[in-house]
């Protein structure tokens, strides 16, 4: 079999040329990084979990009419996605103060925000993805005003969808990051949700205990990251709670 052409290798994923023009194969690695890759490790099983979880979230969003790059899952670690031009922004939506925002504004972690807050960071690892305003985005031409209107409404729809989904399984969606892609249909361009949606790019807290079920487990050395992601996947019904083979046979007298 001919070797696939690698297009890009990032911190947690590899992108390969897809089988047809305009498609890409997205491979989920087990590598975990934090603090702009200053902390690194290989977490066995993380890639498989994120592939499944991202498929689950993207499929649900597609169903409710939020356009995404997701086409189909190919195997345990790979999914087929639509090729797009990535808008160089990390869009962060926050419901509860945590992480960099809590630090920046001197807020107590866990404080519910008066309303969801959307922030934009310029995607540049060398600069540590700095926070930017719509003024920077417009002045440097990273996105148009129309794009920004679309990005804001798309982000808030994703927030409502994910918050509801998590609420249903006893988890608070504290914040998350998404990336947006640009696709062209002839002369017409539109924006779609790209990259991944997984506990790598969200903060998830158990509603009862406050237990962290996201990448903070890795960032702050709070235990097993795979266990945390498996818990999320099981609650959402993405992975079975019990493997059938684990059921003991009954003794017949
Ligand atoms: O995670 P950190 O405190 O550095 O940054 P944050 O601005 O508080 O992150 C807000 C949310 O976006 C968290 O759920 C992060 O996991 C996610 N994020 C991400 O996935 N990738 C980044 N480069 C930055 C933030």
Residue 1, pLDDT above cutoff 70? no
Q: Are residues 200 and 90 in the same domain?
A: yes
| Residue 192 falls inside a structural domain | yes
pLDDT tier for residue 160 given thresholds of 50, 70 and 90 = very high
For residues 62 and 129, membership in a common domain is answered with no
Q: Is the per-residue pLDDT at 6 higher than 70?
A: yes
Considering the domain architecture, whether residues 66 and 163 belong to the same structural domain is answered as: no
Interval between CA 177 and ligand 1 midpoint (Å): 6
pLDDT at 233 over 90: yes
Q: Whose Cα sits closest to atom 23 in ligand 1?
A: 129
- In a shared domain, residues 139 and 152: yes
Same domain? 76 vs 102: no
Cα 99 to averaged position of ligand 1 atoms, centre (Å) = 7
Whose CA is closest to 176, among 226, 249, 119, 114? 119
Q: Does 119 share its domain with 79?
A: no
Q: Which residues form the domain of 168? A: 85-206
Q: Which atom of ligand 1 is nearest to the CA of 129?
A: 23
Ligand 1 lined by 215 (C-beta under 6 Å): yes
Burial label, 83 (beta-carbon count in 10 A; 0-12, 13-18, 19+): middle
Nearest CA to ligand 1 atom 3: 99
Supply the residue whose CA is at minimum distance from atom 4 of ligand 1.
Answer: 100
Which pLDDT value is given to residue 3? 76
| pLDDT, position 214 | 97
Residue 253 lies in a domain: no
The answer to whether residues 91 and 56 belong to one domain is no
**Does the pLDDT at position 226 exceed 70?**
yes
Give 14-29 pLDDT, tens digit per residue: 999 999 999 999 999 9
Higher pLDDT, 3 or 50: 50
Query: Does residue 92's CB lie within 6 angstroms of at least one atom of ligand 1?
Result: yes
Distance 44 CA to ligand 1 centre (A): 22
Does the Cβ of 90 fall within 6 Å of ligand 1? yes
Q: Residue 175 CA: which ligand 1 atom is closest?
A: 14
Instruction: Please tell me whether residues 243 and 158 are part of one structural domain.
Output: no
Residues 201 and 109 in one domain: yes
**Do 59 and 80 fall within a single domain?**
yes
Is 213 part of any domain?
no
Instruction: Name the E strands within the chain.
Output: 6-9, 13-17, 23-28, 31-34, 39-42, 70-73, 78-82, 85-86, 89-96, 112-122, 131-132, 171-185, 188-194, 202-206
pLDDT in tens, 68-107: 999 999 999 999 999 999 999 999 999 999 999 999 999 9
175 lines ligand 1 (CB under 6 A): yes
Are residues 35 and 75 both part of a single domain?
yes
- What mean pLDDT, rounded, does the chain reach? 95
- Distance of alpha carbon 196 from alpha carbon 57, whole angstroms: 9
């Amino acid at each position: 079999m001919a070797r696939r052409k690698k297009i890009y290798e990032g911190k947690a994923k590899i992108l390969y040329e897809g089988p047809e023009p305009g498609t890409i194969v997205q491979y989920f690695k087990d590598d975990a990084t934090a603090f702009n890759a200053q902390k690194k490790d290989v977490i066995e099983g993380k890639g498989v979990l994120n592939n499944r979880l991202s498929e689950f979230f993207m499929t649900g969003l597609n169903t409710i009419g939020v356009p995404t790059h997701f086409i189909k899952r190919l195997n345990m670690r790979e999914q087929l996605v639509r090729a797009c031009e990535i808008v160089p922004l990390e869009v962060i939506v926050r419901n509860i103060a945590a992480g960099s925002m809590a630090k920046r504004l001197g807020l107590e972690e866990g404080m519910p925000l008066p309303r969801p807050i959307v922030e934009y960071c310029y995607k540049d690892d060398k600069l540590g993805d700095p926070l930017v305003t719509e003024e920077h985005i417009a002045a440097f031409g990273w996105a148009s005003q129309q794009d920004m209107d679309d990005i804001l409404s798309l982000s808030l729809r994703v927030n409502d969808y994910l918050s509801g989904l998590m609420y249903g399984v006893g988890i608070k969606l504290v914040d998350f990051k998404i990336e947006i892609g640009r696709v062209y249909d002839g002369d017409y361009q539109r924006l779609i949700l790209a990259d991944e949606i997984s506990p790598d790019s969200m903060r998830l807290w158990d509603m009862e205990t406050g237990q962290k079920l996201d990448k903070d487990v890795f960032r702050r050395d709070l235990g097993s990251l795979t266990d945390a992601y498996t818990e999320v996947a099981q609650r959402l019904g993405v992975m079975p709670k019990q493997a059938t083979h684990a059921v003991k046979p009954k003794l017949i007298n």
